[in-house]
Chain A
């Protein structure tokens, strides 16, 4: 990405971003002030409730990344609280060797939580949603059982005292401020991750996993980092909890608490920090206001969850999202600016993509039967054929979702590893999908920025505490994404929620996302489907310009007009084999092609 001219500022996106930042900040400032000034009320009952809310939020802030961002249904998370609480209490009380310093014991609680966070999270990589939810429930039960049985460490059913922190964080308002500071820290760190490329990658895995892979996002590593962080925060929260309770027994860690944490996040809304924070506070505080409610608290939580799922799946965050309730202009036109492409595609030498003797069968059907293909940089190569001829399958082999049973795919001279879709981004191979795969609940800009995830240099830890390299990454990604949006003509919609866009706009957003990779090779899967004639014409001009900027473009299409207008070279597939190949004019008059394509 060249450092050249600054991106053209448009009033729309820049103005909304400013407003968005301010809007967000106001809530945090108010909450922070409320927290700081609460002790002035000098009511220890309120102080205890508030402290408990902070502790629950420390755990929930981490769980929010797992449930709200990554979309993993981890219901039994009270297990982290239990683990952290008993670790801290046992170490501080000297049940394992000499008595530990309370702060060190707290850190140890966090470490144990981190380890088990990963342990609980590992199954998420292999199991379907419901199965994973069940394993977290099972794990929570196991932890409680072990707490009951391991009398030496945990005191068994009788329990064990929690640690007391020394001044200035001693019991009372001192401890209150300790928990407040940790809650604020947890909020800050998780908010940083949430708005970093890691947070966007998590949401991509949740809502558009296939597209996330194509953008180079590696699910296992990212999920493990998140489970580690969430486990650590849960463990720390557990240590604080054991101090607040001053004495813990296994039945203090109930299934109802798991439910509270989980539902607090969902009521707050996925993909948000403020929403789940408010949700957790509300659920913690609610039962305190009416004595009879305590008995019915879980019933209320569950009823709230049901209402949210059925009526407002987006939760509190959705309700607070005023920006996205402003009506959009009705008759919007997409006007791409191909002249910006040289700045977008500023990259080193172009490369040749070759397929040699690819064969792939599904069950007994030969989907691809000995295919040779050559896609040259600077050219648009069309791939057409009747349904079932193997066009999309070929695309999926090139982009690494299917491994061929024989043959190889090469870019430049290098062989591309067969089943490694998430590595294609490293080779600068980008693609779009037959049906647009975008994150409906995220903004257009965020969706495009996901395309550049692998360009980020900063590590997870740097994003956690917003070190300079993280900031540079973010600024660079943002600028590149705006440029890509300007190139496809959608910059005015940058801040809009993606599910509000028309279908044709979604197709162009996918192209903008693909451009973020500055692709050596661009694979387009029926990009014209559902577009009007004029939009197809503009799409064609854009695709042609992309190829002329040096990219090798493979275009799978049904639209005969588009193929014959812009392709330099056309290959016709039938029953998994090449039927004919040549210039559009040659193909157009090739008798066999016409028959096969029309079916005779």
Chain B
């Protein structure tokens, strides 16, 4: 690591969160630098979605979250979004009774109208397929298109960091490829934190990777390191790996 590394865009330290009495995350720490694409991997129940929710303020948390130099203590999802940290939630949840365009307008609720329309057009430019359907109700879109709409919603505010929760979930392989192709373009445009279950695709799309299992980070590495898939598998199944295995 170069010694004059700039301050990371997102810094999470000592984060714990859960639902009611159930503690899901214990003392999690991670960083995302500006311009990076970071993947967050892990088996079911590890806490990946919980982590994103805790960072974006959808869930209460203890611990420290610093974004763009600002302490985000007590910030709810509204504040977080306005600070430039946007969370695209799991399950391509769009507002089915509203049009594509309306869905995007709502993503920028509160912005002055001329700016908002401009930013909506920019977001639509990423996904020409749904731009063509801008006045259709979201319920007429296919699963993959709804996922693209959800990501486009995330882009409306020109986020400094975009967090995506399993954008490929529930989609057929063809759609998965289409959505992940959009990820590549997104990566050029800004910083991404990507939660995924599909390891190979996620590794192909990112610079660094964190593995989360049973509520804690069990592995962090650059994606160009050796033997990564193997090490991940071991990490998932409970063996501690902090260095590449001798094969």
Does chain A bind chain B? Answer: yes
Give me the interface of A with B, judged by CB distance under 8 Å.
386-388, 435, 502-503, 506, 526, 529-530, 558-561, 564, 588, 594, 597-600
22 example contacts (A-B, Cβ-Cβ < 8 A) are as follows A386-B44, A387-B169, A388-B169, A435-B22, A502-B21, A503-B21, A503-B23, A530-B18, A530-B21, A530-B23, A530-B24, A560-B237, A560-B238, A561-B237, A588-B237, A594-B233, A598-B199, A598-B233, A599-B196, A599-B199, A600-B198, A600-B200
Complex CA–CA separation, A559 to B238 (angstroms): 9
Q: CA of A165 to CA of B169 in the docked complex: distance in angstroms?
A: 75
Once bound together, how far apart are the Cα atoms of A341 and B198, in whole Å? 43
Q: Which residues of A sit under 8 angstroms from B200, Cβ to Cβ?
A: 600
**Nearest Cβ in chain A — how far from B169, in angstroms?**
8
A388 to B166, CA, bound (A): 13
Cβ of A387 and Cβ of B44 under 8 Å apart? Answer: yes
B74 within 8 A of A: no
Residue B232 is within 8 A (CB to CB) of chain A in the complex: yes
Whether A599 pairs with B21 at a CB distance below 8 angstroms is: no
Question: B197 at interface (Cβ–Cβ under 8 A)?
Answer: yes
Whether B170 sits at the interface, judged by CB under 8 Å, is yes
Of the candidates A387, A388, A598, which one forms a contact with B236 in the assembled complex, judged by CB atoms under 8 Å apart?
Answer: A598
Give bound CA distance, A526 to B22, whole Å: 13
Main secondary structure of the interface of A (DSSP, over half): loop
A386: which B residues are within 8 A, CB to CB? 44, 197
In B34-83, the 8 Å CB interface with A consists of 43-46
Smallest CB–CB gap between A347 and chain B, Å?
A: 32
Minimum distance in angstroms from B91 CB to a CB of chain A: 10
Most buried by A among B20, B46, B196, B197: B197
Give the distance in Å from the alpha carbon of A561 to the alpha carbon of B197 in the complex.
19
- Interface centre among A387, A558, A564, A598, by most chain B C-beta atoms within 10 angstroms, is A598
The chain A residue sitting closest to B201, CB to CB, is A600
Q: Is B231 among interface residues, defined by CB-CB distance under 8 A?
A: no
The answer to whether A529 and B22 have CB atoms under 8 Å apart is yes
Q: Which residue of B lies closest to A561 (CB)?
A: B238
The CB with the most chain B CB atoms within 10 A, among A387, A503, A560, A594, is that of A387
A387 / chain B contacts, CB cutoff of 8 Å: 44, 169, 197
Is the beta-carbon distance between A558 and B233 smaller than 8 angstroms? no
User: Given A560-B238, A598-B233 in contact, is the A530-B22 Cβ separation under 8 Å?
Assistant: yes
Across-interface contacts of A600 in B (CB, < 8 A): 198-200
B44 touches A558 (CB 8 A): yes
Q: Hey, which chain B residues are within 8 Å of A506, CB to CB?
A: 21
- Distance in Å from the Cβ of B204 to the closest Cβ of chain A? 12
- How many angstroms between the C-alpha atoms of A387 and B44 in the bound complex? 6
Chain B interface residues (CB < 8 Å from chain A): 18, 20-24, 43-46, 169-170, 196-200, 214, 232-233, 236-238
Assembled-state Cα–Cα distance A313/B170 (Å)? 42
Q: Which residue of B lies closest to A530 (CB)?
A: B22
The minimal Cβ–Cβ distance linking B127 to chain A, given in whole angstroms, is 24
CA distance A456 to B172 in the complex (A): 52
CB distance from A145 to the nearest CB of B (A): 42
B214 — nearest CB in chain A belongs to which residue?
Answer: A559
- Nearest to A386 among chain B residues (CB) is B44
Distance between A365 CB and nearest chain B CB, rounded to angstroms: 9
Q: How far is the CA of A506 from the CA of B20 in the complex (A)?
A: 12
CB-based contact B232/A598 at 8 Å? yes
User: How close is A583's CB to chain B, nearest CB, in angstroms?
Assistant: 16
CA distance A594 to B234 in the complex (A): 11
Specify which chain B residues have a CB less than 8 angstroms from the CB of A561 in the assembled complex.
237-238
Check A598 against B43 for contact (C-beta < 8 Å): yes
Q: Are A597 and B21 in contact (CB under 8 A)?
A: no
Q: Provide the bound-state CA to CA distance between A600 and B24, in Å.
A: 25
Residues of B within 8 A of A597 (CB): 43
Chain A residues with Cβ under 8 A from B236's Cβ? 560, 598
Nearest opposing residue in chain A for B26, CB measure: A532
Compute how far the CA of A386 lies from the CA of B233 in the bound complex, rounded to whole angstroms. 15
Scoring B21, B199, B238 by chain A CB atoms within 10 A of each residue's CB, the highest score goes to B21
A residues near B198, Cβ cutoff 8 Å: 599-600
- Is the CB–CB distance between A560 and B45 below 8 Å? no
Chain A residue at smallest Cβ distance from B19: A435
| Complex Cα–Cα for A529 and B214 (A) | 9
B22→A503 contact, CB < 8 A: yes
**A529–B170 CA distance with the chains assembled, in angstroms:** 24
**In the assembled complex, how far is the CB of residue B51 from the closest CB belonging to chain A, in whole angstroms?**
16
Which among B46, B170, B232 is the interface contact of A388 at CB below 8 angstroms? Answer: B170
Query: Could you say which residues of chain A place their CB within 8 Å of the CB of B45?
Result: 526, 529, 558-559
* A526 and B45 alpha carbons, distance in the complex (Å): 10
Contacts of A599 in B (CB 8 A): 196-199
List the 4 closest A-B pairs by CB distance, nearest first: A599-B197, A558-B45, A503-B21, A530-B22
Complex CA distance for A559 and B22, rounded to whole angstroms: 15
Query: Could you say which residues of chain A place their CB within 8 Å of the CB of B46?
Result: 558
Chain A positions within 8 Å of B170 at CB level: 388
Seed contacts A530-B18, A558-B43, A594-B233; 11 additional CB < 8 Å A-B pairs: A388-B170, A435-B22, A503-B20, A558-B45, A559-B45, A560-B237, A560-B238, A598-B43, A598-B232, A599-B198, A599-B199
For residue A503, which residues in chain B have a CB less than 8 angstroms away from its CB?
20-23
Task: Point out which of A388, A597, A599 has the most chain B C-beta atoms below 10 A from its C-beta.
Answer: A599
Shortest CB-to-CB span from A208 to chain B, Å, is 15
A388 to B45, CA, bound (A): 12
CB-defined contacts of A530 to chain B, threshold 8 Å:
18, 21-24
CA distance A212 to B90 in the complex (A): 32
Instruction: Considering the complex, give the chain B residue whose CB is closest to the CB of A526.
Output: B45
Q: Which residues of B contact A502 (CB under 8 A)?
A: 21
Q: Report the minimal beta-carbon distance from A178 to chain B, rounded to whole angstroms.
A: 50
Write the nearest CB–CB distance from B194 to chain A, whole angstroms.
13
* Residues of A with C-beta under 8 A to B44: 386-387, 558
Please indicate the chain B residues that have their CB under 8 angstroms from the CB of A558 in the complex.
43-46
In chain B, what residue has the closest Cβ to A599? B197
Q: How far is the CB of B45 from chain A (nearest CB, A)?
A: 4
Q: How far, in whole Å, are A560 and B233 apart by their CA atoms in the complex? A: 11
Residues of A within 8 A of B18 (CB): 530
Known: A600-B198, A600-B199. A560 touches B43 (CB 8 A): yes
Determine the residue in chain A with the shortest Cβ distance to B202: A599
Q: What separation, in Å, do the CA atoms of A502 and B21 have in the docked complex? A: 7
How far apart are the CA atoms of A376 and B177 in the complex, in Å?
42
CA distance A561 to B232 in the complex (A): 15
A529 to B198, CA, bound (A): 23
- Cα-based distance from A388 to B196 in the complex (angstroms): 15
* Most interface-central of B43, B196, B236 (chain A CB within 10 A): B43
Say how far A292's CB is from chain B's closest CB, in angstroms. Answer: 46
Q: In the complex, A600→B173 CA distance in Å? A: 11
> How distant is the Cα of A4 from the Cα of B11 in the complex, in angstroms?
61
In the bound complex, how far is the Cα of B233 from the Cα of A597, in angstroms?
10
Chain A residues in 8 Å Cβ range of B43? 558, 560, 597-598
Least CB distance from B192 to A in Å reads 18
How far apart are the CA atoms of A564 and B43 in the complex, in Å? 15
What residues of chain A lie closer than 8 Å to B24, measured between beta carbons? 530
Provide the bound-state CA to CA distance between A75 and B196, in Å.
Answer: 51
